[in-house]
Amino acid sequence: MKLSISKKDDALYLKLDETLIVESEEVQPGIIFDYDDKGQVIGIEMLGLSNRISMDEIKNVQLETI
């Protein structure tokens, strides 16, 4: 799993695995799901990130596993 944040593109991308993307769908404005050939979500992109969260909050990303 890989989380990428691009200040240049003002976007966040969560890639769940390295499976080939065969389809993408904008499920809400600025939220795009990427699917594999089995219809499973393998990536999530969030556009307009700076409109959703402040850049100061982006600097402090936390990962929690339970």
Which pTM value belongs to this model? 0.85
**Domain-embedded: residue 40:** yes
* Dihedrals phi, psi of 40, to nearest 5 degrees: -85, 140
pLDDT in tens, 17-62: 999 999 999 999 999 999 999 999 999 999 999 898 887 777 777 7
Structural domain for 30, as ranges: 2-58
As a whole number of Å, the CA-based R_g of the chain is 13
Number of structural domains, the chain?
Answer: 1
**Domain contains 41:** yes
Higher pLDDT, 66 or 36: 36
Q: Is 66 within a domain?
A: no
Maximum CA extent, the chain = 38
The verdict on residue 39 lying in a domain is yes
Please give the structure tokens belonging to residue 48.
């307009």
